[in-house]
Amino acid sequence: AQSVAQPEDQVNVAEGNPLTVKCTYSVSGNPYLFWYVQYPNRGLQFLLKYITGDNLVKGSYGFEAEFNKSQTSFHLKKPSALVSDSALYFCAVRDGSNYQLIWGAGTKLIIKP
């Protein structure tokens, strides 16, 4: 069965420090992996995705994520956090044979000044 795990409900980071939001997945076929961000009282915004090719994917707002096939992970990273990065982050996965996206439970990221 397909699944996505975001093991941390909340991540706290000081402004200017690097941040990591973790995501691990399980799919039967080749994974298509996505990260979305949700600011308060807003819909979800697409950040980046991995389909194929380079394992390091760069996205919006300076975020990047690294696909690690052996560890079945797709952690979201940013070298220097901003207070404005504070939001809810969702990881999602789809395999090539399925239209359904399987969503993680979300991680609340809090960046403190």
Partner 1 sequence: GAGVSQSPSNKVTEKGKDVELRCDPISGHTALYWYRQSLGQGLEFLIYFQGNSAPDKSGLPSDRFSAERTGGSVSTLTIQRTQQEDSAVYLCASSSTGSGNTIYFGEGSWLTVV
- Return the C-alpha torsion angle 65, 74, 95, 107, nearest 10: -100
Give 24 or 104: the residue with its C-beta nearer to partner 1. Answer: 104
Query: Which residues in 9-38 contact partner 1 (CB under 8 A)?
Result: 32, 34, 36
Question: Could you give the CA distance from residue 38 to residue 59 in angstroms, rounded to a whole number?
Answer: 15
* Unique residue bearing structure tokens 């994520």: 65
Q: Which stretch binds partner 1 (CB under 8 A): 12-20, 41-49, 60-68, 69-77?
A: 41-49
The reply to whether 5 sits near partner 1 by the rule CB under 8 A is: no
Query: Which tokens belong to 67?
Result: 């696909």
| Number of Cβ atoms within 10 Å of the Cβ of 109 | 22
Please identify which residue in 17, 18, 42, 55 interacts with partner 1, judged by CB under 8 A: 42
- Residues in the site for partner 1, rule: CB under 8 A? 32, 34, 36, 41-46, 49, 51-52, 88, 90, 94-101, 103-106, 108
